Amino acid sequence: MIQSTICFLLMNTSEPEVLLGFKKTGFGMGKFTGIGGKVEPGETVEVTAIREVQEEIGVKILAKEMQFKGTVTFLFPSKMEWSQQVSIFTAEKWVGDPRESNEIRPSWFKLKEIPYGLMWQDAPYWIPQIVNGTAIQAKFTFKHDKETLEEAVVAPL
C-alpha cells in the first residue's frame, strides 16, 4: 500500500482559514485537497510532508512546527494501486507565501466555507475534525466507480 502525507496550513485569524490545493494534474485532478504526496524510499512521513509542501506550493515548514493529526487509510478495492495510508499533519507557522505550481493552485478558505462539494467524498467526515484540532484515525472504502464512498470509519486518536 502506498504511504503518503497530507499537510494542512492553518491561519488563526479572527475567522480561521485552511489552505487547500486545487489539483491540476495527476491523482485527484480537478479536486481540492490538502498539500502532500507519496513517501519516497528512505524518507520519514515528516520529511515527505515538508518536501511536498515545498515542491507543491513553495512554502518551507520546519518539522517542529508540524502537528501530527493521525492516519487516514483510503481503500479502492477495484483499483488497489490507488489504495494508500496517509499521515496527516497541520502547521500554523511557515516561511514564504503559498504559490501556484504545475500541480497545485493553492487557495485559502474560511473553515465554514471549505468546498466539500469539490473534494473527495470522504472529506466532510474527517477534515473538519483535523482543522479544529482533533487527531483521528480513519478508513474510507470506495465503491467500484472509485468516487462513491462505500464505508466511512472515523475515530478520535
Per-residue confidence (pLDDT) for residue 14, from 0 to 100: 82
Q: In this structure, are strands 66-75 and 136-142 parallel, antiparallel, or unpaired?
A: parallel
Q: Are 77 and 112 in contact (CB under 8 A)?
A: no
Q: Which of 49, 43, 89 is nearest to 69 (CA)?
A: 89
Per-residue confidence (pLDDT) for residue 118, from 0 to 100: 97
Is 44 part of any domain?
Answer: yes
pLDDT tens digit string along 6-15? 999 999 888 8
pLDDT tens digit string along 47-86? 999 999 999 999 999 999 999 999 999 999 999 999 999 9
Q: What is the mean predicted confidence (pLDDT) over 90-118? A: 96
Q: What residues make up the domain containing 19?
A: 2-69+89-135
129 C-beta neighbours (distance < 10 Å), count:
17
Q: Are 119 and 28 in contact (CB under 8 A)?
A: no
Is 57 part of any domain?
Answer: yes
Is 120 part of any domain?
Answer: yes
Is 6 part of any domain?
Answer: yes
Q: How far from each other are the two terminal CA atoms of the chain, in whole angstroms? A: 22
Q: How many CA atoms lie within 13 A of 111 on its CB side?
A: 17
* Domains: count for the chain: 1
pLDDT tens digit string along 106-133? 999 999 999 999 999 999 999 999 999 9
Is the sign of the CA dihedral 4, 154, 83, 124 positive or negative?
negative
User: In which residue are the cell numbers 524510499 written?
Assistant: 41
Is 38 part of any domain?
Answer: yes
Q: Is the confidence at residue 34, as pLDDT, over 90? A: yes
Is 99 part of any domain?
Answer: yes
Q: What is the mean pLDDT of the chain?
A: 96
Does 157 or 74 have the greater pLDDT score? 74
Is 77 part of any domain?
Answer: no
CA distance 34 to 46: 15
CA distance 77 to 146: 9
CA distance 64 to 128: 23
Per-residue confidence (pLDDT) for residue 15, from 0 to 100: 87
CATH number at residue 14: 3.90.79.10
Per-residue confidence (pLDDT) for residue 13, from 0 to 100: 81
pLDDT grade, residue 19 (50/70/90)?
very high
Is 148 part of any domain?
Answer: no
